[in-house]
Amino acid sequence: MTLREKAELAERAARASGAMLEKHDPFKVKRKSENDFVTEMDFKSEALIREMLLTACPEDAFFGEETGGEMSAEGRWVVDPIDGTSNFMRGHRLYTISIAYQFKGELAVGCVYCPGTDELFLAVKGEGATLNGRPIRVSGTSNPRDALVHLGFGHRIPVNRERTLRVFPTLLKAVSDVRRSGTAAYDLCCVADGRSDGYVELGLNLYDYAAGCVILTEAGGTVSGWEDGEDGLATGNVIATNGILHEAIRRALI
Ligand code: IPD
């Protein structure tokens, strides 16, 4: 199967999961740890996506937020069945299904679907990124004072929450305004299609950012870690921007 075919499969799985999530019955919620929740629907979404992906590609490995998985095969799906569980369980419309495909360790396909807005972001490495089939591109904003920047609060891990609170005043003064969507995958897609100029968060997990990062970089954006030379894709401390504003936003976080 080509990477394009994998992307089309990811789109079908994300849309099927979205349709199921949008017409859910009442569901149970469990606290995983402080400020971290999981619902019955996260498990149902992950099971449906896993079944669709592995039926079509039995040779691939699967790694999901709720059930984990292996690294074994050359190709691996990385899935967040509901990114923005807190939004979903309280009825907020911004939550996403995030599906990435890694080949030999490299992120090669990204699919992020937001059922509440019916926006489907898709990218294949080297082939660009689209929103509902139309090509997208990062913004051309060059003055930090005009920048709209999404900020994730690193709310689950106390040390990240404290660091985020420390840098918040400097960031807010450096840019035009700050947003908090509640889904990292959607934040990355907002930068990818130019409606926002940057997104920063500490302590993300691979399944939160894998698909969104393929979409962002294919739309011309830049991803790094918070420290000089830090690989954000390895540490989960992510700065994602339109590229032009990357250093200005990174410096505002020191
Ligand atoms: C969370 C969301 C949220 C981010 C958290 C993530 P989940 O993912 O992406 O925006 O701030 O760090 O854990 O737990 O809802 O899949």
Per-residue pLDDT of the chain (254 residues; tens, 9 = 90+): 999 999 999 999 999 999 999 998 878 888 888 778 888 999 999 999 999 999 999 999 999 998 888 777 799 999 999 999 999 999 999 999 999 999 999 999 999 999 999 999 999 999 999 999 999 999 999 999 999 999 999 888 899 999 999 999 999 999 999 999 999 999 999 999 999 999 999 999 999 999 999 999 999 999 999 999 999 999 999 999 999 999 999 999 98
Indicate if ligand 1 lies below 6 Å from the C-beta of 182: yes
pLDDT at position 191 is: 98
Structure tokens at 43: 């498990």
Ligand 1 center to 90 CA (angstroms): 14
Ligand 1 center to 87 CA (angstroms): 10
3-state helix, strand, coil in the chain (%, to 5): 35, 30, 35
Ligand 1 center to 203 CA (angstroms): 10
Ligand 1 center to 84 CA (angstroms): 5
* Locus of tokens 């840019």: 175
Indicate if ligand 1 lies below 6 Å from the C-beta of 208: yes
- The b/e string for 148-176 (b: 16+ C-beta within 10 A; e otherwise) is bbbbbbbbebeebbebbeebeeebeebbe
Work out which ligand 1 atom sits closest to the CA atom of 181.
Answer: 10
Indicate if ligand 1 lies below 6 Å from the C-beta of 218: no
pTM of the complete model: 0.96
Ligand 1 center to 2 CA (angstroms): 30
Structure tokens at 140: 């051309």
